[in-house]
Structure 1
Amino acid sequence: MRRAPAVTFLLGTVFLDMLGLGLIVPIVPALMTSVTEDPAAAVFWSGLLGSVYGLLQFVVSPLLGRLSDRYGRRPVLLASLTCLGVDWLAHAASPSPWTLLVFHAAAGACAGTYTVVNAYIADVTEPGSRAHAYGLIGAAFGLGFVAGPVLGGLLGAVDVRLPFVAAAVLCFANVAYGWFVLPESRPGDRNTPLTLRLANPVSAVAAVLRRPVLGRLAGARFCADVARMTHQSTWTFFLTHKFAFSTTQIGVVLATSALAGAVYQARAVGPVVRRLGDKRAAVAGSLLGCVSLTATAFVSVPWLLYLLCAVGVLGSLAGTAAQSWISRAVRADEQGTVQGALAGIGAVAETVVPITAGVAFGWSLTYASPGSVYLGAAVFAAGSALLLAVTPDVRSTSPEQTLDRA
């Protein structure tokens, strides 16, 4: 197998997923205002677009994962990316908020490619090398998060719909590249049942949670997602209200943290996880995240923010180590199904947490305690560490009950 071109394609896929999503962040207000011609309606529709995107990821990710187990990773990846490119083009031409909502929902469904990428990595890497591979995926994720808003802002200044055209062109270019260089990592198994129970998100998630070890790992991941999304959803507002940061200062903090995280994931996480092992690395990373969030709640001087961001970056190894651990805990023929269910769990957090965290942050301002929301996030980070600590480090050589029978 030509692993180097294949991994390059996978990294590009994750980067473009985040780039496409990030492109619209700085231009959604202008786009929605131009479409609705009403600032109040624009705010409503912007929030609705974000929620529907996460909801469709929740609905479709388990199905994509199951399809990749049954028919192979390659066709599902290429088909999803093609649909995503079509959706971005449709965004560029949408004349009304309703059509934007439909196409953004479709984009959320197609963005479930992250599920198949994780399964592909598990197919082509040895267990001891997966932390490094997932670290590279995390780096691509972070770079897409940095590049998306920057590119979207620059192109949006020329034309508010131009970023969508750029996202579509990049998506189609990646499909063309993948068509020629991406080999199949695992031939599909037509004996893998494609039942409504395992294809619908609620049943797929329930089947994962019923398995003791995998259920604890999924719970730990959900807690970590809640902590991460709480931080992301309120961070810019916290910097504005607590320290009166300008948009430039906020951009510097966000870009510095994302770039540092990308370098750390690409260069250091693999060796650290190999030295500590998946379990210890995941627990240590979660505890570092808990420390960073707790200290942020009480920070009083701006320079400490950079130190706490550094601690948070170090703690990001938890997600990579946990992903590697999960991939070892399931059989090869159910990697896609499990990754899809986990993506569905993450989509729940991405749909619900921004709204909940925003309401909680607004409430905290009433009592002049904008940092209190981070104490809540720290509780979830601590819960993630606890679940990881009490989970046995089993391997797929002696797997739990299969999802088909769970």
Structure 2
Amino acid sequence: MRRAPALSFLLITVFVDMLGLGLVVPILPALLTSVTANAALWSGLLGSVFGLLQFAVAPLLGRLSDRYGRRPVLLVSLTCLGFDWLAHAATSSPWPLLIVHAVAGACAGTNTVVNAYVADVCTPGERPRAYGMIGSAFALGFVAGPIMGGLLGTVDVRLPFLAAAGLSFANVAYGRLVLPESRPGDRTTPLTPGLVNPVTAIAAILGRPVLGRLAHARLHADLARMIQQSTWAFFLTYQFAWGTAQVGVVMAAGALAGALFQARATGPVVSALGEKPAAVAGTALSALVFAGFAFVTVPWMFYLLQAVAVLSSTAGAAASSWLSRSIGADEQGTVQGGLTSLAAVAETVVPLAAGAVFAWTSPGLVYLGAAFFAALSALLLSLTPGRNADPTGPTL
């Protein structure tokens, strides 16, 4: 890779981003309970307004990173996140928190810029391994965050938020010192309303022959992933009568195994199979795992499926590398911003829908739904030309 220090910073950024979220997730209900009588309602409002603003602004952030460079957009995004955590720590009322959290959602460009940056500094052959390492850093943050947050929360309910803010600001300072600009930017890149409007940006992406199929496949994979994430703890508690400690250990162990496998195996697997076969096989394997979860009745069956799920964890990195190769260097940020908006839709809608299905029907039906979306993603990937870029698509 041409810029190892830059990649190291990106890995730290993703890790800290997820670590900060993990720090506060176990403590957020207690914090909101201390400032409002309707903690559950405000928790839902905070999540929804963040997702809504991220959906609305992500294409603009991506386009700004194409026009002005990745570095300033990423550092501003991380700075906003730090102020968001500070607001959580200092709040005595939910209303100011809602406003600051909305601003943080509008600035939430970390994933958009990180994915574009990787495409800038890595050759096509290096990207699968790099995206695998990014996914690994994400998972490791998920493992460490809740543990640290729970421990800090026993000291003071606001301490995890101060720790998350401190990590964010430290990461900004570190980035200012070591992060080079991967794309100086092109001031001739237009900023027209159609390019930064999330609806038209998504429509432009979906209207392209190769990119559109890859984006549809990613959306369906995101739907399957969000179904699992939003119901996973409830499913394990319901199916096996496990307590919170055992659920936490199982979730952490699965995330850690997936992180290690992504970091070590993604590059060799994609080198051996190619991006398209690796993406198709991994996604199809995840569909089988979700279908298995729908019928699992004893713990040993669950552990076996968890082991198989680890083998499917290279699919996302392979698909991301494939997608980055299908678009031009001058539109990486713009496309990634549109994809972030598309993912925000799933992250806003799926938890409510999956929770309702889980509560009102059989829990197994939820995972059959996840299997359906994963299988559809694998089918779309298999029908997409594997080696062609999108030269005939309209430039975004």
Same fold (TM over 0.5): yes
Q: Show the counterpart of 1:21.
A: 21
Task: Report how far residue 283 of structure 1 moved.
Answer: 0.4
Correspondent of 1:400 among 386, 392, 395: 392
SS in 2 for 1:371: helix
Distance in 1 (CA, whole Å) between partners of 2:199 and 2:23 is 30
Q: Show the counterpart of 2:266.
A: 269
> Is the Cα–Cα contact under 8 Å of residues 74 and 109 in structure 2 kept in the other structure?
no
Distance in 2 (CA, whole Å) between partners of 1:22 and 1:107 is 17
* 1:137 matched to 2:129: no
Query: Bigger CA drift: 185-194 or 47-56?
Result: 47-56
Correspondent of 1:377 among 353, 370, 374: 370
Deviation sequence 1:83-117 (CA, Å, 0-9, x none): 22122112211121112222222222333211001
Task: Report how far residue 70 of structure 1 moved.
Answer: 0.2
Distance in 2 (CA, whole Å) between partners of 1:271 and 1:110 is 35
Distance in 2 (CA, whole Å) between partners of 1:87 and 1:234 is 26
Give the counterpart letter for 2:31 in structure 1.
L
> Is the Cα–Cα contact under 8 Å of residues 143 and 258 in structure 1 kept in the other structure?
yes
Task: Report how far residue 306 of structure 1 moved.
Answer: 1.4
Q: Post-superposition, which runs of at least 4 consecutive aligned residues in structure 1 deviate over 6 A? A: none
* 1:101 matched to 2:94: no
Deviation sequence 1:110-151 (CA, Å, 0-9, x none): 332110010000000010110000001000110111122111
Give the counterpart letter for 2:145 in structure 1.
G
Give the counterpart letter for 2:394 in structure 1.
T
> Is the Cα–Cα contact under 8 Å of residues 73 and 109 in structure 2 kept in the other structure?
no
Distance in 2 (CA, whole Å) between partners of 1:110 and 1:154 is 29
Task: Report how far residue 403 of structure 1 moved.
Answer: 3.1
Mapping for residues 205-354 of structure 1, pairs under 5 Å: 205-354=202-351
Q: Show the counterpart of 2:50.
A: 53
Correspondent of 2:149 among 149, 152, 170: 152
Distance in 2 (CA, whole Å) between partners of 1:354 and 1:287 is 23
Distance in 1 (CA, whole Å) between partners of 2:392 and 2:271 is 24
Task: Report how far residue 50 of structure 1 moved.
Answer: 1.6
Q: Which runs of 5 or more residues in structure 1 are unaligned?
A: none
Q: Show the counterpart of 1:3.
A: 3
Task: Report how far residue 34 of structure 1 moved.
Answer: 0.4
> Is the Cα–Cα contact under 8 Å of residues 216 and 388 in structure 1 kept in the other structure?
yes
Distance in 1 (CA, whole Å) between partners of 2:34 and 2:353 is 28
Q: Show the counterpart of 1:389.
A: 382
> Is the Cα–Cα contact under 8 Å of residues 139 and 265 in structure 1 kept in the other structure?
yes
* 1:163 matched to 2:156: no
Mapping for residues 176-187 of structure 1, pairs under 5 Å: 176-187=173-184
> Is the Cα–Cα contact under 8 Å of residues 88 and 107 in structure 1 kept in the other structure?
no
Deviation sequence 1:302-321 (CA, Å, 0-9, x none): 12211111212211211111
Task: Report how far residue 158 of structure 1 moved.
Answer: 1.2
> Is the Cα–Cα contact under 8 Å of residues 213 and 381 in structure 2 kept in the other structure?
yes
Task: Report how far residue 355 of structure 1 moved.
Answer: 0.6
Distance in 1 (CA, whole Å) between partners of 2:214 and 2:281 is 15
SS in 1 for 2:363: coil
> 1:60/1:223 Cα in 2 relative to 1: closer, same or farther (>3 Å)?
same
Give the counterpart letter for 1:9 in structure 2.
F
Give the counterpart letter for 2:222 in structure 1.
D
Task: Report how far residue 2 of structure 1 moved.
Answer: 6.9
> 1:2/1:159 Cα in 2 relative to 1: closer, same or farther (>3 Å)?
farther
Mapping for residues 87-98 of structure 1, pairs under 5 Å: 87-98=84-95
Task: Report how far residue 376 of structure 1 moved.
Answer: 0.8
Task: Report how far residue 400 of structure 1 moved.
Answer: 2.9
> 1:395/1:178 Cα in 2 relative to 1: closer, same or farther (>3 Å)?
farther
Distance in 1 (CA, whole Å) between partners of 2:321 and 2:268 is 13
> Is the Cα–Cα contact under 8 Å of residues 2 and 122 in structure 2 kept in the other structure?
no
Distance in 1 (CA, whole Å) between partners of 2:367 and 2:221 is 13
> Is the Cα–Cα contact under 8 Å of residues 208 and 214 in structure 1 kept in the other structure?
yes
> Is the Cα–Cα contact under 8 Å of residues 17 and 111 in structure 1 kept in the other structure?
no
Deviation sequence 1:336-381 (CA, Å, 0-9, x none): 00111111111111111001000000012xxxx3212100110000
* 1:357 matched to 2:342: no
> Is the Cα–Cα contact under 8 Å of residues 65 and 337 in structure 1 kept in the other structure?
yes
Query: Bigger CA drift: 4-13 or 120-129?
Result: 4-13
Deviation sequence 1:197-219 (CA, Å, 0-9, x none): 11121111111011011111000
Task: Report how far residue 401 of structure 1 moved.
Answer: 2.0
Distance in 1 (CA, whole Å) between partners of 2:290 and 2:123 is 34
Correspondent of 1:201 among 198, 202, 219: 198
